[in-house]
Amino acid sequence: MKLGNVLLIARFIAIVIILWLIDFGKLAIILRSINLNLIALAFLLELAGFLIWTLKWKFLVDKLEKIRFTILFLGLMGGNCLNTNVLRARTFGGFGRAMFLRNVTRSHKNANWYATIAIDQTTNIFVFSFPVIFSLLFVFLFLNIPRWLSVILETIVLIIFFLAFAAFLLRRKFDKTIVVRLFYSTLRRIYNFSLFTFIRKRFETYNKFEELIESSLEEFTKTSKSILKDRSILARDLVLSAFVFALIYSKAYLLFQSVGFNISISHLIVSLSLILWLNSILPVPGGFGVKELVMISIYAMVGIPVTIAAIVSLIDRAIYMFFVIILAYLAIIFMRIFHIGEAMQ
């Protein structure tokens, strides 16, 4: 069975489970009294989050070349559209944004631009790690969660810990020649891997592929070091990242208020942090269905009624999908009409 069919079945099953969990009597009562003004405000907070994210990215990009804010916003939305709808883009991260930047400028390579995206993502991960750690400790110490969920969370934490420990040992104990040998061995396996036919179509020989990776890594390292030397840029990036996450939590809080549910700040941080964390590290299919089921399950874990959790999850996802699909597609259409982001001749 093709992967697309499997994902379609998974989404269908998730939607059926969500419909089964909802109490439609309570749903009708809540929808009649829902506060549309708070939902509109939550929508504006989502927009503000994307605008601040663009500003955050712009400070990094400006270290290489000055690019207009509006152009970067279009590139950010187009990149988010790819990450949402294309599995390869979601797997390999921000290469779409890197190619966009290369095409709208007359200088620099993909690796240079990808360095700005990698730093942008790294600061986001660093800031987000604090609420995630707090949430995991809160869950293990204070919540009576199902055994199966506890096993899943503990397994994920152990895997991350061992990966971090292995990386530490590789840096401290192993000879650099061993690491280099392992790197090139892995690179050859990637080139020969049966599923990565698109790599072999682009590079006729392994040597050409290896040369590109080597030069790209060199450019990436050089650019990253030059940006990270400016401590003010890094500090500003971290502060803006914190603002972005503050807006995400504020948006969720407003959505709960809009349906008349007064959620505690601790439960909001714990539940939403785990939702964002699990959806980012687990192979959860995009689109409607599975991610909403994850959201409902986590919200219910902290004591939120299932029907309220379902309403908030669906509205939250609808707002997000509006930006990363509808607005993002409009951004792509706009760029094509005005030839923004097309390869320079």
pLDDT in tens, 92-113: 446 667 777 777 776 667 788 8
Whether residue 333 is predicted with pLDDT greater than 80 in this model: the reply is yes
Please give the C-alpha separations between residue 60 and each of 51, 101, 138, 215, 225, in angstroms, as whole numbers.
15, 12, 35, 21, 12
152 Rama sector, left if φ>0, alpha if ψ -120 to 50, beta otherwise: alpha
So where are the chain's domains?
20-337
Amino acid sitting at position 244: V
Whether residue 83 is predicted with pLDDT greater than 70 in this model: the reply is no
In which band, very low, low, confident or very high, does the pLDDT at 237 lie, cut at 50, 70 and 90?
A: very high
Whether residue 335 is predicted with pLDDT greater than 80 in this model: the reply is no
At residue 344, the pLDDT reads: 45
In which band, very low, low, confident or very high, does the pLDDT at 241 lie, cut at 50, 70 and 90?
A: very high
Whether residue 87 is predicted with pLDDT greater than 70 in this model: the reply is no
Q: How many CB atoms lie within 10 A of CB 333?
A: 11
Write out the two tokens for 125: 């991960």
User: pLDDT tens, 138-170?
Assistant: 888 877 776 766 777 778 778 777 777 666 666
At residue 255, the pLDDT reads: 96
At residue 3, the pLDDT reads: 57
Distance CA 272, CA 288 (A): 18
Distance CA 77, CA 74 (A): 5
Greater confidence (29 vs 258) lies with 258
Give the mean model confidence (pLDDT) for residues 336-342. Answer: 70
In which band, very low, low, confident or very high, does the pLDDT at 312 lie, cut at 50, 70 and 90?
A: very high
In which band, very low, low, confident or very high, does the pLDDT at 91 lie, cut at 50, 70 and 90?
A: very low
Write out the two tokens for 75: 């590139």
At residue 341, the pLDDT reads: 59
Q: What predicted TM-score, i.e. pTM, was given to this entire model?
A: 0.82
Whether residue 171 is predicted with pLDDT greater than 70 in this model: the reply is no
Give the mean model confidence (pLDDT) for residues 202-210. Answer: 81
Rounded to the nearest integer, the mean pLDDT of the chain is 81
In which band, very low, low, confident or very high, does the pLDDT at 64 lie, cut at 50, 70 and 90?
A: confident
Q: CA-based Rg of the chain, rounded to a whole angstrom?
A: 22
At residue 201, the pLDDT reads: 80
At residue 88, the pLDDT reads: 47
- What stretches of 86-142 show up as alpha helix (H) in DSSP? 87-92, 95-104, 110-142
In which band, very low, low, confident or very high, does the pLDDT at 345 lie, cut at 50, 70 and 90?
A: very low
Give the mean model confidence (pLDDT) for residues 258-282. Answer: 90
Long-range interactions of 8-15: CB distance < 8 A, separation 24+: 10/285, 10/289, 10/290, 11/285, 11/287, 11/288, 11/289, 11/290, 12/289, 13/289, 14/289, 14/290, 14/292, 14/293, 15/288, 15/289
Give the mean model confidence (pLDDT) for residues 17-45. Answer: 87
Distance CA 323, CA 330 (A): 10
Give the mean model confidence (pLDDT) for residues 299-321. Answer: 91
Rounded-to-10 torsion of CA 66, 69, 71, 76: 110
To the nearest whole percent, how much of the chain has pLDDT over 70?
Answer: 81
158 Rama sector, left if φ>0, alpha if ψ -120 to 50, beta otherwise: alpha
At residue 186, the pLDDT reads: 80
Are the CB atoms for 285 and 14 separated by under 8 Å? no
At residue 89, the pLDDT reads: 45
At residue 92, the pLDDT reads: 45
Q: How many CB atoms lie within 10 A of CB 57?
A: 27
Greater confidence (301 vs 6) lies with 301
At residue 158, the pLDDT reads: 80
**3-state DSSP percent of the chain in helix, strand and coil, to 5:** 80, 0, 20
